[in-house]
Structure 1
Amino acid sequence: MPHVVTQACCADASCVYACPVNCIHPTPDEPDFLTSEMLYIDPATCVDCGACVSACPVGAIVPGHRIEPQDERYLEINAAHYEDVDVAQSPVRFPVDARLRLPLAPISKPKPIEIPGGGDIRVAIVGSGPSAMYAADELLRHPNVYVTMYERLDKPFGLARYGVAPDHLSTRKVMALFDEIARNNRLDILVRSEVGRDIALDDLRRDFHGVIYAGGAKTDRRLDIPGIELENVASATEFVGWYNGHPDFADRAFDLSHRKVVVIGNGNVALDVARILTSDPEDLASTSISPVALAALRNSKVEEVLVVARRGAADAAFTLPELVGLADRGANVTVDPELLAPELLASAGTSDDPTISAKLEILAELSQRPTQSGPVIRFGFLRSPQEITANADGSAAGVTFGINRLDPLRGGVEPVGETETVEAGLVLTSIGYKGVEVPGLPFDGARGVIPNAGGRVVDGDTPITGVYVTGWIKRGPSGFIGTNKSDSAETVAQLRADLEAGLLSVPTPVASPRRRLGRALAR
């Protein structure tokens, strides 16, 4: 029985390099790796050796014969990724010719970094989230490299700690991998150390051979509609930070005394928020959820959360694993049939994209599933938010949506000229993240990124010597935790090439950052 990748997949790709028969795709060297929602094991070539199980940092891979009932859907999801034709009308289909496999993903062994004059190499990394940790891991493979990481918060690991939902226990296991990286005695993580406040970027450029900025995308994309400033209107990011105990949101409070909540946007963060709002608080008590948030959820009056998006179901922003987890792990979730275009229901299972097809099949199933007692999550599609209406006291009363329809000629959607208003005592917007400008570096305000060429920061066409970027501030808010692994490897490769070419200045001898700011442990 082949092994199976399940919902917890973080696309780290460690399993790809552990596999002796190249049955896990996409690999980091394949063009769809950065956009793939998860990795997939080919059942036709898997030899059931178990090497991938040991390599996976989040425990996402299990033998097919040991798969839990709530994960059985992944048997077909993995197989469908490789499907060419039906074989004996089996519900699980396999490629006709296993010889059509892509070549084995290359396993690169880092070579020593040799710089003119020799000696140790010192690199500064700004931030300590997944992209920063993967960059440090890549650098520390070279025995003459020392890394100092600057983190403004009191704990490291960024969104891996403060962005992953507390009930996603498997995904949060990736922090154990980061803990292992942090134990390297050539890595200093300096918490409560903010670049621009405690140390200047120019000082880092003077004191280190190179500086990698991995500050992520720190703000939300703003929804610019009337009523956005009303009381009880906030971003989903604020809500996530609140229930995860993020220091920036320690003083935040959310009014959960209302019957209905509207979440605008339907990415993974939106689904996380809806699930937490409707979960049994006692099921969350054993997780890392903030005690303040847990107490508020225990007193919550929320009965319904509507997750609504402008486009149709085929363009839903949430990933297939996130939807499977919601549908098959006990959540009380449904789709109002009138909010799921009939033509999409009819097309479920027929899309050329197996991921979209699987999403539509599950949504069609949910639209027919009877709701259980207790708080419910409802999906809505083809609705554009136009205004947040107010109560007499200035708080949110509801959301007025413009109704859309699919535009078969031009693609996308078009308004039908009608509106509807949905009651909501709390409105959370979840339409994406955006990077913020870094003083002293060029910035692309439209994309919310620092302009770069493969990770090397550029001002126009001119590279800025010794400054690099990785993660969301490099590519924009896309991909998953593991996507940062290949992204950071690309950036480190640029830094290594510049070092070996002698393009980077030798740091000014100064007191060790460890002595100036104090060493911080990862935990």
Structure 2
Amino acid sequence: MKANCWSYVWGLLCMPADVLLSTLTGECVHDSFSSGGPKVCVVGSGPAGFYTAQHLIRVLPVMVDIYERLPVPFGLVRFGVAPDHPEVKNVINTFTQTAKHSNCSFYGNVNVGKDVSVEELKQAYHAVILSYGAEGNRSMGVPGEDLAGVYSAKDFVGWYNGLPSCQKLSPDLSCETAVILGQGNVAVDVARILLSPIDILKKTDITQPALAALAESQVRRVLIVGRRGPIQVAYVPRPRKRLTELLLKTALEVPDEKEQERRNKASRMWAFRFFRSPVEILTNPDSSRIAGIRLAVNRLEGSGERARAVLTGEVEDVSCGLVISSIGYKSIPIDPSVPFDSRQAIVPNKMGRVQQATGLYCSGWLKTGPTGVIATTMNNSFDTARSLMEDMESGTVDISAAKPGSQSINSLLKKRGVKPVIFSDWEKIDSVETSRGEARGKPREKLLTVEEMLQVAHK
């Protein structure tokens, strides 16, 4: 504890009042730590994983190992944030500091549930925290959604952001009109990428294949469709009253001559289409690909956030050659031993404590579902870290016995032919990507396959 006094003091400041009181007046949790401190592993290196690890190591002298399926860290910060929003990616600097902390280690290229089981992790660590996010797609549940020309926003975003599993997507952008289903942040990001001038995009870290495809894109019109109204849109955290005022002002404002001339000359346009739900994807005569989408016309029952979309019986057909479904991500089960609520697509938990599984925790979207922004995930992850701290102090999680941690896991991985990527290996990848980007006048040019990443990492 003395060697880590500043961390201890910071921990006192961050503790809930009841934990702080018991720490100051009773047995300090630090005093019961086994030699070298408790060992905790975090599965997933996105915002939830890093924020959980960050809070633990700044408060307690614990050893935290982060396991990641891909050879590269940072999850949705790398693969989900829009290329033209680089300021949001600045959080990577904070995560890098966490990864370089003496009490933290990163092990990429380790597929938990396949290369190593959760039960094996539980044997090696005092606690296991699942933070692997939401990598599945929610289905629209309408006829034709599997046709060529229909994509999930998750896959489309992964394609232009360099997610290896999405590099074969090759979306057909030869149509004039695209329809995006959903009105959240991701839907607006996708619309913006489809319509942004190439001169703007080529200065970002968007992948070169995506940039080339967008340069040839024929998409000139994007409709962003939502089943409810403007009061219920999810793409901004702005207070609803102010949002409504802005939408009404824009809709009712008569443009002056100069503005009207600018609009008339515009080569691309976008619009919201409210009170609409998808009914069916329409096909061309030979049924090989989409020709449009049939939308049900809705009305609202109730008001505000709780307003419910109700079908009116009317439908509307919209001609389009591209449909992108942005109705939400969902988590998927990682290991048969981990409880999973398939209806809500989360691991059932209470304040991050996985139900009926002592020593097992979850944070991020796996804990709550795919809601909120990075700041929301930060608070969510800190809450899970505090739950673990409380359980260590109360004895619910036994930290008296020594645990082997990464030593035993690395031994298992070696026997199974898996070579992890440590953080210094990631820095080699980072260096190559930034150098390639520099040559093109952009922040980075990402490696697009796991094979390329491993080749650079293990040089």
Say whether the fold is shared (TM-score over 0.5): yes
Task: Provide the residue aligned with 1:127 in structure 2.
Answer: 44
Equivalent of residue 449 in structure 1, options 346, 352, 357: 346
Say which SS state the counterpart of residue 222 (structure 1) adopts.
coil
Question: 1:414 Cα deviation (Å)?
Answer: 2.8
Q: Which amino acid aligns with 2:232?
A: D
1:165, 1:417 → 2: CA distance?
Answer: 37
Task: Summarize deviations over 1:167-215 as a string: whole Å, max 9, x none.
Answer: 0111111112212222212211111111012211111101111000001
Q: Distance in 2 between matches of 1:139 and 1:113?
A: 13
Determine if contact 1:115/1:499 at 8 Å carries over to the other structure.
Answer: no
Which residue of the partner structure matches residue 323 of structure 2?
A: 427
Encode CA deviations 1:389-441: one digit per residue, 9 max, x unaligned.
00124201101111122335994333332211101101000111211123211
Which of these residues, 162, 166, 183, is aligned with residue 100 of structure 2?
183
Aligned residue identity for 2:275: L
Query: Aligned partners of 2:65 and 2:71: how far apart in 1?
Result: 16
Of 150-159 and 356-365, the range deviating more from structure 2? 356-365
User: Aligned AA for 2:98?
Assistant: I
In structure 2, the residue matched to 1:501 is 394
From the superposition, tell whether residues 406 and 500 of structure 1 become closer, same or farther in structure 2 (CA, over 3 Å).
closer
Structure richer in helix, relative to its length: 2
Offset from partner CA, 1:248-304 (integer Å, 9 cap, x none):
112211000100000011111000000000000110111110111000000010110
Q: Alpha carbon RMSD of aligned pairs, Å?
A: 2.6
Asked if the contact 1:275–1:377 (Cα under 8 Å) also holds between the matched residues in 2, the reply is no
What letter corresponds to residue 114 of structure 1 in structure 2? H
After superposition, give the CA deviation of every residue in 1:135-186 in whole Å (9 maximum; x if it has no partner): 1111111452111111001211111111100001111111122122222122
8 Å Cα contact 2:39-2:403 kept in structure 1 = no
Task: Kindly indicate whether the alpha-carbon contact (under 8 Å) linking 2:126 and 2:403 is maintained by their aligned counterparts in 1.
Answer: no
2:288 aligned with 1:394: yes
Q: TM-score with structure 1 length normalisation?
A: 0.69
1:144 aligns with 2:61: yes
Who is 1:405 aligned against?
299
Is contact 1:113-1:142 (8 Å) kept? no
Whether the 8 Å CA contact 2:39–2:64 is kept in 1: the answer is: yes
| Matching of residue 220 in structure 1 with residue 137 in structure 2 | yes
Match of 1:233 among 147, 150, 156: 150
- Does residue 292 in structure 1 map to residue 209 in structure 2? yes
Taking the aligned partners of 2:33 and 2:144, their CA distance within structure 1 comes to 62
Output aligned runs, 1:189-268, within 5 Å. 189-268=106-185
Deviations 1:363-403 (A, max 9, x none): 22333465351221111101111111001242011011111
Report how far residue 469 of structure 1 moved.
0.4
Partners of 1:175 and 1:509 in 2: how far apart?
Answer: 29
Distance 2:59 2:219 in 1: 53
Aligned length: 384
Distance change >3 Å, CA 456–CA 404, structure 1 → 2: same
Q: Choose the corresponding residue for 1:491, options 384, 395, 413.
A: 384
Match of 2:449?
Answer: none
Pairing 1:418–2:418 present = no
Q: Describe how 1:226-375 pairs up with structure 2 within 5 A.
A: 226-320=143-237, 355-367=239-251, 368=253, 370=260, 371=263, 373-375=266-268
Any idea what SS the aligned residue of 2:374 has? coil
2:48, 2:130 → 1: CA distance? 10
Name structure 1 gaps, 5 residues minimum: 1-16, 18-27, 30-106, 322-354
User: Secondary structure of 1:301's partner?
Assistant: coil
Choose 120-129 or 512-521, whichever is displaced more: 512-521
Cα gap change, 1:411 to 1:496, in 2 (>3 Å): closer
Shift of the 437–512 alpha-carbon distance from structure 1 to 2, 3 Å rule, reads: closer
